[in-house]
Structure 1
Amino acid sequence: MRLLEKLSRLLLPASQAAIDYPFAASDVAQYRHSAHPEDSVLDEQTWNDLLLAKYSGLLTRGTSIFGQQELHRRLHSGNGATMDSMARVRALLDDPAQESLLLQACTGLRQADCEVSATLWQNAMRDAPRWSRLLPGLPLGLLATVVLALASAWPAVWLLVLGFWLALLAVQMRYHEPMQSWTRQRAALQQLLRSHTLLGGLDQPLARDWQTDAAEAARLNRLLAPSPLASLPGVAEYQDWLWLANVRHYFASRAVVKAHLPWLRDCFARMAALEADLALVCHLRRQPRYCWAEQGDGVALVQVAHPLLEQPQTLDVQLAHKGAFISGQNGIGKSTLLRTVGLNLLTARAFGFCYAAQASVVRLPVYASMQSEDALDQGESLYLAELRRARELLARAEQGRAVFIIDEIFRGTNHLESISAAAAVLQRLAAQALVIVSSHNLVLAPLLQRELEPWCVRRHQQQLRLMPGVLAETNGIALLDAQGFDGAIARRARQVYDWLSAYMAHPGEQELLLLL
């Protein structure tokens, strides 16, 4: 057995059943905030509108906090998927045996129950206080004064005993909470080092990069580990309360981390990247359809689907050098189509693949506006929220080319002003970016025909199709009957609709519609 393999068996902790801890969204995002604060082209509303939190849960199934943080960073990153990552994912897809060995070496990472990127990149590691050098003297002083008190008849000596005992107690109380927190962080770092060492012991092509510094990982792991005596029943309490072993190890292990911060940061980044790639491999193996996306000038997706749908209907999307105005009947899936296109554009840029049979897409930042809501606590109506989001998108467009996914723009005001404002905003956006918009205001199609190609989602032979043109037959009133409304309501709605249609075509020839 190789030396590194022997050492790895001694490293903390022994393999245990993997546990997927429920980390908060702020913990998952911490690595991006700490180590890559400037590398983000994905805003919060796009994250929410495209349901990326739910998608991330699907993507990171069985992945530790380290892999989750790296995948989160890639989704937000403006740099896109790296060639090294895509090459590693492809190699592992072609080599299940090597994938299994790497997964086994990384399984211990899932034992980490806290995130450590803030410690490595953001929080300053302070030096131990000077008085900490005197900590070994406190238990010795306590023992010496106890012996002296027992050997002499001086009652005053017991005051010295009490003083030393209170000093020991004060140190424990002062550092109890910091030590509890640090113990979890230290254990997480040790899992990183342990997996690093295990990878270095593998004779596999994708593990060779870990072999050069695996011995250093093992050495740091031993320096961070507490004394083996601490695992003996009753010994840990004795060491901690009498000899301050926990406090002394707290300062010593933090000093080790501070002295090796650059190395530990590199270890973290490499390990997170590897586990993220392994998560992508496992995820793709579960997918019925995916492809490696080619880079193009438009959006060409063949049999594209959304991975969050259990039984998705596939669609072909072909947008060349021009945005799209998408119409369709109520409930046919226009919003799902927008989310499908938006998510596939994101995964193509972040990971290099799409959930389609073929894909050729632009590699641009994606911004969505699909779920604007009023905020009563902030005094912001729906229309004001929509205007705020429109200003944000216009400002983003000024910063460079991007893709904008917009659903039902300006719902919060009257029909005429909604169309007028939407036409003006969409024309400006389409002049600077690729715009894909869906709306029930069909009059926008001719108003925007120079900027956006009209497309309609239709059902053809039980399959959804995206076809050129604008919706010709609406179903909003027909749904009144389908949803159980009184027949009189449906008839009255049809009467008003017919009158309005005639009035819009020949406004001077229509009499005022009286209430029946």
Structure 2
Amino acid sequence: MSFTVFRLPGYWRPLLARVAGLTTPAEPEPQDYPFAPGDVARLQRVTAGDADAALDDPTWRDLLLERYGELVSAETSIFGRQVLYRRLRNGSSEDEAALRRTRVETLLADPGRLARLHHGLRALRHADIEVAGLLFDADITAPPRPAWLRVWFLIPLLLAASIAAALLLSPLAWLATAVAMYLLVAPQMRYRERMEEWSRLGGALQMLLRVCALLDGSGHPLAEDFTGRGKRAGWISRRLKPSPLVDGAPLVKDYQHWFMLANVRHYFRSVRLAFAQRAFLCECYDLCANLEADVALARHLLATPLWCWAGRSAARSLALDEGVHPLVEGASALSIALDGKGAFLSGQNGVGKSTFLRTLGLNLAAARAFGFCYARRAMLPALPVVASMQNEDSLLGGQSLYIAELARARELLAAATARPVVCLVDEIFRGTNHEESVSAAAAVLDELAAQALVVVSSHNLVLGPLLAHRLAPWRVGTGDDGVLRLEPGVLGRTNGIALLAGHGFGTAVQDKAEKVARWLAGQRGGGAGADLLDDGVG
């Protein structure tokens, strides 16, 4: 009999768990909040390491990396998105890349477990505010606790005593009542915005702590670092949350706030707790955010038809076999191999030179940050990419297009001088006349290619022979089978003049254009200028 009584709790436990599950409200579906780019970038900015190794803003814009970041971080909280942004912007060391590859491969090996882990991390997506600045920015400190909070209880006592005195002794006591009401209302007005923001920040921290506690003892191989953190995470989470007596029924809650200053007292108490536990909260952030980032990458790769783990090549070489752009649906797969020299790209208008530059740049950035790229096979240098593709004039700034191009070219030269980089340049120096454009482009690209691996596209075909000692010629074109290819050589037949007729210009205009083109072709015929800049390099 005693055995039966002893065993009853074990028999009832599954049933009780099921009943509890039926009576517990289901967790609401998380929302993917539209965080501003500055919020996503906050972690990278407050924890930036080597500034020279980070991709600069023009490159980030030119390679469409903000849109790419949204692609890889689908259904990911602000925590995971911030980590993915930092990785993409800063890159990874060889050891970090190897570790992350192992973690992602572990997730890819079991899609079912990956889905369960993704579901277990979903609480993070309830955070509607970023907390990286609060946790990692050393310039942010806890606000000082007002001295009067130590004797806060005297204010409601004054209120009660003044009301009693006014009713029993003298109407003049209402003056004291007014003073007490002012002392109760003033803190609410002064700290209202801070308390509202802290309520959101505290909620985000509680999501971190909740996931940290849930993963403690979960048994997942990637959750081993969470072991032993659940108890402390739960303790902090409970203290960050207002007391049930304070945060109860609306009337009770309002009374506690207005007459007992419960919300003001909780604000300063919980802020002090968060800063006292800042190191532990940073650890929870790193663990949760990095795990969620790895989960996001694994889920992205499962949905990607063409990708590979990229090998790391020397600084002056690369090989991309059937590379595609993940943001371009139905993109043609192109291949290129460089060893020692950069590349001069030519091709007809609209054939896809700029798209290929972005394809190469994005794959270089992804391989450096995540270890994989979008190709059949790849060997890529783990170097920062510096791009010049979308220079524009500034009416308000009084800067012409050519001046903007010169400024960006100077930045590329400075980056190449500081450390090994890969430079991507599209249609250099469009903002001046043809002769000076070619002259300036040849001189700048020759200097740039002497210090960095350079891939440049241009419609100024004369740059091909001028820079042949630095840049190998490649042309983008469509074969007889209609397939887009990237092949060695300079474009032989342009289509800019032929497009005139297709866009409403008469034959007279086209004939004149062809006449001028024949004259210009004679200027560069016979390989004139092929050794003009060659000082023995090659």
Give TM-score, length-normalised by structure 2: 0.89
2:291 and 2:158 mapped to 1: Cα distance? 50
Q: Determine whether 1:89 maps to 2:108.
A: no
Is contact 1:35-1:117 (8 Å) kept?
no
Instruction: Map residues 222-371 of structure 1 onto 2, 5 A cutoff.
Output: 222-229=238-245, 230-297=247-314, 298-371=317-390
Match among 436, 450, 468 for residue 417 of structure 1: 436
Residues of 1 paired with 2:337 and 2:524: CA distance?
Answer: 33
Deviation at 1:201, TM superposition (A): 4.3
- What residue number does 2:535 align with? none
2:61 to 35, 42, 48: 48
Instruction: Return the offset for 1:487.
Output: 2.5
Is 2:477 aligned against 1:486? no
Question: Aligned pair 1:115/2:130, yes or no?
Answer: yes
CA pair 448-194 structure 1, distance change in 2 beyond 3 A: same
In the alignment, the residues of structure 1 paired with residue 111 and residue 524 of structure 2 have an alpha-carbon distance, to the nearest angstrom, of 64
Determine the C-alpha separation between the residues in 1 that align with 2:103 and 2:478. Answer: 40
1:419 touches 1:444 (CA, 8 Å); kept in 2?
A: yes
Equivalent position amino acid for 1:49 in 2 = D
Q: Deviations over 1:449-492 (max 9, x none)?
A: 11111111121222111111110011111111222322322222
Say which of 489, 496, 515 aligns to 2:516: 496
Gaps spanning 5+ residues in structure 1: where? 507-516
Residue 221 of structure 1, aligned match among 195, 218, 237 = 237
Could you say what secondary structure the match of 2:364 adopts? Answer: helix
Deviation at 1:141, TM superposition (A): 2.6
The alignment partner of 1:20 has SS state of coil
CA distance in 1, matches of 2:300, 2:170: 74
Residue 534 (structure 2) aligns with = none
Are 1:30 and 2:56 counterparts?
no
Please state how far the C-alpha of 1:97 moved relative to its aligned partner.
Answer: 2.3
- Is the contact between residue 225 and residue 287 of structure 2 (CA under 8 Å) also seen in structure 1? no
1:180 corresponding residue in structure 2:
196
Of 77-86 and 473-482, the range deviating more from structure 2: 77-86
Alpha-carbon distance change, 180 to 441 in structure 1, aligned in 2, over 3 angstroms: same
The question of whether the paired residues in 1 share the 8 Å contact of 2:462 and 2:524 is answered with: no
Percent sequence identity over matched residues? Answer: 49
Kept in 2, the 8 Å contact 1:373–1:385? The answer is yes
Alignment pair present for 1:434 and 2:453: yes
Q: Distance in 1 between matches of 2:192 and 2:26?
A: 26
Contact 1:290 1:356 in 2 (8 A): yes
Deviation for aligned residue 1:59: 1.5
The 1:503–1:96 alpha-carbon spacing in structure 2 relative to 1, beyond 3 Å, is closer
- Greater alpha carbon shift after TM alignment, 339-348 vs 456-465: 456-465
Give distance in 2, aligned partners of 1:128 and 1:99: 45
Cα distance in structure 2, aligned partners of 1:142 and 1:26: 46
The change in CA–CA distance for 1:189 and 1:326 in structure 2 (over 3 A counts) is same
The offset of 1:154, in angstroms, is: 1.5
**Whole-Å separation in 2 of the counterparts to 1:244 and 1:14:** 33
What is the deviation of 1:195? Answer: 1.1
Q: Take 1:369 and 1:308, find their aligned partners in 2: how far apart are those partners?
A: 20
Please give the alpha-carbon distance, in whole angstroms, between the structure 2 residues aligned to 1:111 and 1:504. Answer: 63
Q: 1:347 touches 1:353 (CA, 8 Å); kept in 2? A: yes
Q: Which residue of 2 aligns with 1:100?
A: 115
**Alpha-carbon shift at residue 13 of structure 1 (Å):** 11
1:16/1:108 contact within 8 Å kept: no
Structure 2 partner of 1:512: none
Match of 1:146 among 163, 168, 175: 163
Deviation, 1:78, is: 4.4
CA distance in 2, matches of 1:505, 1:181: 69
Q: Within 1, Cα distance between the matches of 2:318 and 2:523?
A: 39
Where does residue 495 of structure 2 map in the other structure? 475
Q: Look up the equivalent residue of 2:222 and give its one-letter code.
A: L
Q: Which amino acid counterpart does residue 226 of structure 2 have in structure 1?
A: W
CA contact (8 A) 1:18 1:108 kept: yes
Distance 2:343 2:409 in 1: 18
Q: Quickly say closer, same or farther: Cα 1:423–1:76, change in 2 above 3 A.
A: same
The code of the aligned residue for 2:400 comes to: S
- 2:484 corresponding residue in structure 1: 464
Instruction: Say if 1:334 and 1:457, in contact at 8 Å, map to a contact too.
Output: yes
Q: Find the residue that maps to 1:63 and give its secondary structure.
A: coil
Partners of 1:383 and 1:104 in 2: CA distance:
52
8 Å Cα contact 1:102-1:199 kept in structure 2: no
Residues 424 and 455 of structure 1: CA distance in aligned 2, closer, same or farther (over 3 Å) = same
User: Which range is displaced more, 402-411 or 38-47?
Assistant: 38-47
The alignment's C-alpha RMSD in Å is: 2.1
Shift of 1:423: 1.0
Could you tell me how far 1:376 is from its partner in structure 2? 1.3
Aligned 8 A contact 2:91 2:365 in 1: no
Give the structure 2 partner of residue 15 of structure 1. Answer: 27
Could you say if the C-alpha distance between residues 244 and 370 of structure 1 is closer, same or farther in structure 2, counting changes exceeding 3 Å? same
CA distance in 1, matches of 2:291, 2:157: 48
Q: Any idea what SS the aligned residue of 1:228 has?
A: coil
Partners of 2:323 and 2:335 within 8 A in 1: yes
C-alpha distance in structure 2 between counterparts of 1:178 and 1:495, whole Å: 72
1:389 aligns with 2:413: no
Residue type of the alignment partner of 1:101 = R
Structure 2 match to 1:199: 215
- SS of structure 2 residue aligned to 1:82: helix
Partner of 2:81: 68
Does residue 1:133 correspond to 2:150, yes or no?
yes
SS in 1 for 2:355: helix
Amino acid of the structure 2 residue aligned with 1:234 = L
Which shows bigger deviation, 196-205 or 384-393? 196-205
How much has 1:134 moved relative to structure 2? 1.9
CA distance in 2 between counterparts of 1:71 and 1:205 reads: 21
Query: Structure 1 residues 124-133 or 259-268, which shifts more?
Result: 124-133
User: 3-state SS of the aligned residue for 2:454?
Assistant: strand
Number of the residue aligned with 2:5: none
The answer to whether the Cα contact below 8 Å between 1:325 and 1:452 also exists between their aligned partners in 2 is yes
Q: 1:202 Cα shift?
A: 1.6
Q: Specify the code of the residue in structure 1 equivalent to 2:178.
A: L
* SS state at 2:475 partner: strand
